[in-house]
Amino acid sequence: MKQVLPHKPWLAEFILLAAIWGASFLFMRLGAAEFGALPTAGVRVAVASVFLLPLLVLRGLWSELLRHRKKLLLLGMLNSGIPFASISFALLSISTGLSSLLNATVPLFGALVAWVWLKDRPHGLKIIGLLIGFVGVAMLAWGKASFKPDASGLASGWAVLACLLASLCYGISASFTRRYLSGVPSLVIATGSQIGATVGLCLPTLWLWPAQNPSAQAWLALLAVGILCTGIAYVLYFRLIEKVGAAGSLTVTFLIPVFAVIYGTIFLGESVTAWMLLCGAIILCGTALSVDLLKLRRH
Q: Which residues contact 192 (CB under 8 A, 6 or more apart)?
A: 65, 68, 69, 72, 73, 75, 76
Q: Under a CB-based contact definition with an 8 Å cutoff, are residues 254 and 288 in contact?
A: yes
Domain ranges of the chain: 11-296
Give pLDDT tens digits for 25-50.
999 999 999 999 999 999 999 999 99
- Please count the residues of the chain: 299
- Using DSSP's 3-state secondary structure scheme, residue 284 falls into helix
CA angle 141, 30, 209 (to 5 degrees): 100
Model confidence, pTM: 0.85
**Residues in CB range of 293: below 8 A, 6 or more apart:** 251, 287
Enumerate residues 6+ apart whose C-beta is below 8 A from 169.
78, 79, 82, 83, 86
Amino acid 110 reads G
Average pLDDT for the chain: 85
Percent of the chain with pLDDT over 90: 49
* Least confidently predicted of 26-35, 58-67, 101-110, 240-249: 240-249
Q: How far apart are CA 155 and CA 192, in angstroms?
A: 34
Contact residues for 92 (Cβ-Cβ < 8 A; gap 6+): 32, 33, 37, 152, 154, 159
pLDDT tens digits for range 154-199: 667 888 899 999 999 999 998 899 899 988 998 999 999 999 999 9
Give yes or no for a contact between 17 and 231, defined as CB atoms under 8 angstroms apart.
no
197-224: average pLDDT: 96
The residue among 190, 188, 203 whose CA lies nearest residue 80 is 190
What distance in Å separates the CA atoms of residue 55 and residue 226, rounded to the nearest whole number? 15
pLDDT above 70 covers a percentage of the chain that reads: 87
**Partners of 3 in beta bridges:** 298
Angle, helices 11-35/216-226, rounded to nearest 10 degrees = 150
